[in-house]
Structure 1
Amino acid sequence: MTDRTVSLVDSTWGTEVTLAELGEHWARYGHDLLVHDPGGPGECLVRRGELVAARGSLDPALSRLRRWVDRVEHDDDLQLARVRLRTAERDRCIDIAGEVPELSANHVHVGSATMFGTPVMFGTGADPGPAEPVEEPARQRWGVTVAVLDTGCDPHPWFAARDWFEAVPEVLDADDDSDQDRQAGHGTFVSGVLLRHAPGVTIRPRRVLSSLGFTDDLTVVAGLRALRRESAARVDVVLLTAGCHTSGDRCPPTVRAELARFGDAVVVAAAGNHGSSRPFWPAALPEVLGVAASGADGALAGFSNSGDWVDACAPGVDVVSSHVRMSPGTDGARRYGFARWSGTSFAAPQVAAGVATAVRDGHGVRDAARVAARRYPFGG
C-alpha cells in the first residue's frame, strides 16, 4: 500500500480494508460518515455535514457561513459548538472548513487494534485456547496515575479487587445482534497490557472509543475534558489508542488544544495500523509520544505506521492480556479470561508503562518520556 492511501489490514496482514469499506460498514449501524478525497493525498473519514468550532470564534465564522448552515448545537461543558450543514452542502464539510479557519471537520478516529482481527480468548471462563494461563500482575501501589481513553474497563479479576478500581463497563453488543462487537473488550485488554508492565499504576479508564472501533474529535475532547474536571489526583500519563488522518495532514485543532492542557502529563498515543508513514493524529504531534508496533523478531510489524513522527516502538503482535466476552445464550452475562490480539493499540500501553515506571523512579514527566523512548527505541 502507498503512504497516502488510508487502509487497514486484517489479522492475517494480507487483506487491505479501505476507509471507504469501513465507512460503509459503520453506516449499517446508522452512522453518517464521509470519505473525503478517496484514494487521494487528503483521504480521511469525517462525520458528514458536521463542523466544529470554539464558542468564542463561532459568531464571526457564522457571519460567513450562514447560507450553508442548518443549525448549531452548543456544548456548554466543552465550550464548543457543532455546526450542522444544510443537506446540499453536507458533502462539502471539509471544503467549507478550509474556507473558514475558525472551523474544522469532525474527524473520525479509528481504533488501533488490527481492525478485523478477532482476539483469540482463553483462560478462566472461556474455551481452551493456544496459550498458557496468564498470572495476575502483582498488587503494588506506586502513586502514579495513567488515564486510559478507550472502550472502558470491565471488572476483570485482574482489576476488580484493587482499591483504586472504578469500573467503566464495556459495551459488548452495541448493535444488538447477539454477537460481540469487533472492538468490544479493547479497553480491558489495553488496561491489562499496562498493568502487566507497570503493576503499581492506578488506572483511570474513560470511555471514548466505540465497541465498533471508532470515535471522533468531539468525543475524544469530551473525554479529555471530563478527565481533567473529574480527576481528584494528578494524572501522570494519558494513553490514547485511536487516531485519525486529516485532509491537510494537520492535527484536528480541538484535539490539539485539549491535549495542550495536559502539560504536566506525558501523552502516549498509538501510531495506527495503516502500514503508512502519513501522519496519524494525535500520535504525530511533537508533544505526544507516538508508538509503533514490532513483531516477535523485533522488526516493525507489517501493519504498523512509521515515519519521522514516531517516537517509540514496542511489541504489538500476539500480545496477551485480560479480556471480556459475552457468554453465549445468556442475558448479558460476561466471561473473563485472556486473549491474544495485535495492533499498535497494544504496543502503546507498554510505552505508557515505561513512562509510569520512570515517574515512579523519580524522573520528571518530560525526562520520563525520554527514558521510555530509550527503552523502546524506534529504528525508523
Structure 2
Amino acid sequence: MDSPDVISLAELAERWRAEEPDLTVHDPGGPHECLVRSGELLVRSDGAPAAVDRLRRWVDRAEETAESKVVRLRLRPGGDPVRIAADSGPAVAPNHVHVGSPIMIGTARPLPRSAPPPPTPADETWPVTAAVLDTGLDPHPWFAGRSWFAASGHSPEVLDADGRPGQDRQAGHGTFVTGVLLQHAPGVQIRHRRVLSSLGLSDDATVARGLRAVRGAADIVVLTAGCHTSDDQCPPVLRHEVERSGAVVVAAAGNGGTSRPVWPAALPPVVAVGADASFSNHGAWVDAIAPGVDVTSSFVRLTPSRGGGPGTEEREYGYACWSGTSFAAPRVAADIACLLRLRVPPEEAVERVTALPAT
C-alpha cells in the first residue's frame, strides 16, 4: 500500500487550485505530464506580432511586461495551450508551472522540523555575489547584520498566503536555502529575489523575469524549482535568459526520482544538482551530487503571539532540518563561490565542482 505522503502531480494541483485556479495538468500520469497555466502562451517580444497574427483565431489578447521582454498570449476559452504551442513553432510555448524542490511528486514529502542551531557562519566579505531566486529572505540573525542584507532589497518571506491555519508548506524556504549557502561560503554577498510562492510554485514568465533582473549583478545564480515540459525541451524564454545571464547558474534537479529532464536545470550551461537520495532526479543531465537529506539551516516560523487573540501570530527565527535537492544546490553553489573567491575562472570552477564526488 502506498504511503499517505505519496501523492501525484494531479492530486497536488487539485489542492493548489484553491490558491492558483489556473493550473492544468497535461497528460496526467503519462510520459508527457507537465503543469501549465491554463489559457496562456508565452513568446518573446520580438516574435509576438508574428505569433499573434498566426494564432489570431485563438488569441484573445496579448500582454507585454516591459521588464521581462516576454508577452503573454491570453487564449479564448477552450484553447489548449500545449496543443496550440505544438502547432505554432519553437518560439511559442505554454507558461509552464515550476515546482519547488522540497515538493516530492510521487515520493514521500518530509516537512521541515526543528533542529538545534549549527555553527553561525563567519561574518566575512568576499568579492563574489550570488543571487538566490526563491521565496524571499527574512532578517534572520544570520543575515540581518550583514552589509549586503539591506542593499539587496526587501523581499521577506510570505509565511501564510493560503488563509488556512499555520504557515504554508514552502514558507521559509528562501531563508533556509540562503543559510545553506552561507554555511559553506560565509563571505559570499547575497542578492535575493522572490520568484517562488509560499506554496512552492512559480512559472516560466516569473523565473525568466527573475533571471533578467539579476543579469549582470551576480557571479552565481541559485534556482531551486523547475518544470517538466510535454516535449522534454526547455521553454524558450528560460533558455534565452539563462544563456544571457553572464553568471554560473546552479539549479536543483528536482525530487521526482526520475531521469526525465527538469528545466532549466537540464540546460547544458546550467549546473544541475541532485541529492544523495533515492528521491532525487538523475540522469546524464545531472552534473553534481551533494547532501540533500536532513540538511540543517536557518529558518523562520509563525508562532502564536504572546498575549494575542485568535489568529495573531509572530515570526520566530530558529533552525530546521529539511530534505530535498533544493538544499543540495546551494551547497554546490557555495563550492563554486569558494573557487571564484580564489580567482579561479568560472568555467574551471564548474569543471572542478562537477568532477567531485558527493561530500
Task: Give the TM-score range, shorter chain.
Answer: over 0.9
Matched, 1:349 2:330: yes
Question: Which amino acid in the other structure matches residue 353 of structure 1?
Answer: A
- For 1:168 and 1:332, how far apart are their aligned partners in 2? 19
* Structure-2 residue corresponding to 1:269: 251
What is the TM-score with the length of structure 2 in the denominator?
A: 0.92
* Structure-1 residue corresponding to 2:85: 97
Deviation of 1:107 after TM superposition, in Å, equals: 0.2
* Structure-1 residue corresponding to 2:146: 162
Matched, 1:308 2:284: yes
Percent identity between matched residues is: 57
Question: Which amino acid in the other structure matches residue 172 of structure 2?
Answer: G
Deviation of 1:377 after TM superposition, in Å, equals: 5.0
- For 1:19 and 1:203, how far apart are their aligned partners in 2? 32
- For 1:356 and 1:45, how far apart are their aligned partners in 2? 33
Alignment CA distance shift 1:77-1:201 (3 Å): same
- For 1:133 and 1:53, how far apart are their aligned partners in 2? 46
Question: Which amino acid in the other structure matches residue 290 of structure 1?
Answer: A
- Give the 5 Å matches for 1:200-211: 200-211=187-198
Deviation of 1:60 after TM superposition, in Å, equals: 1.4
- For 2:205 and 2:103, how far apart are their aligned partners in 1? 24
Question: Which amino acid in the other structure matches residue 126 of structure 2?
Answer: W
* Structure-1 residue corresponding to 2:320: 339
Provide the aligned length of Structure 1 versus Structure 2. Answer: 345
Q: Which of 165, 175, 197 in structure 2 is aligned with 1:188?
A: 175
Question: Which amino acid in the other structure matches residue 96 of structure 2?
Answer: H
- For 1:119 and 1:161, how far apart are their aligned partners in 2? 25
* Structure-2 residue corresponding to 1:4: none
* Structure-1 residue corresponding to 2:129: 145
- For 2:298 and 2:356, how far apart are their aligned partners in 1? 24
- For 1:133 and 1:15, how far apart are their aligned partners in 2? 28
- The structure carrying a bigger helix percent of its residues is 1
User: Secondary structure at the residue paired with 1:316?
Assistant: coil
- For 2:85 and 2:112, how far apart are their aligned partners in 1? 38
Q: Which of 13, 22, 25 in structure 2 is aligned with 1:35?
A: 25
* Structure-2 residue corresponding to 1:174: 161
* Structure-1 residue corresponding to 2:274: 292
Question: Which amino acid in the other structure matches residue 22 of structure 2?
Answer: D
Q: Mean alpha-carbon deviation: is it higher for 56-65 or for 266-275?
A: 56-65
Deviation of 1:15 after TM superposition, in Å, equals: 4.1
Matched, 1:66 2:50: no
Q: Mean alpha-carbon deviation: is it higher for 333-342 or for 219-228?
A: 219-228
Deviation of 1:291 after TM superposition, in Å, equals: 0.3
CA contact (8 A) 1:32 1:48 kept: yes
Deviation of 1:117 after TM superposition, in Å, equals: 2.5
Q: Which of 305, 320, 324 in structure 1 is aligned with 2:300?
A: 324
Give the RMSD, CA atoms, in angstroms.
1.7
- For 1:16 and 1:177, how far apart are their aligned partners in 2? 22
* Structure-2 residue corresponding to 1:113: 102
What is the TM-score with the length of structure 1 in the denominator?
A: 0.87
CA contact (8 A) 2:41 2:85 kept: yes
- For 1:376 and 1:260, how far apart are their aligned partners in 2? 27
- For 2:111 and 2:124, how far apart are their aligned partners in 1? 32
- For 2:284 and 2:78, how far apart are their aligned partners in 1? 40
- For 2:208 and 2:102, how far apart are their aligned partners in 1? 21
CA contact (8 A) 1:144 1:201 kept: yes
User: Secondary structure at the residue paired with 1:290?
Assistant: strand
User: Secondary structure at the residue paired with 1:109?
Assistant: strand
**Where in structure 1 do 4 or more consecutive aligned residues deviate above 6 Å?**
none
Q: Which runs of 5+ in 1 are unaligned?
A: 1-8, 123-131, 295-300
Question: Which amino acid in the other structure matches residue 25 of structure 1?
Answer: R
CA contact (8 A) 2:212 2:245 kept: no
- For 1:45 and 1:292, how far apart are their aligned partners in 2? 21
Q: Which runs of 5+ in 2 are unaligned?
A: none
Question: Which amino acid in the other structure matches residue 99 of structure 1?
Answer: D
- For 2:212 and 2:245, how far apart are their aligned partners in 1? 10
- For 2:10 and 2:111, how far apart are their aligned partners in 1? 21
Matched, 1:363 2:344: yes
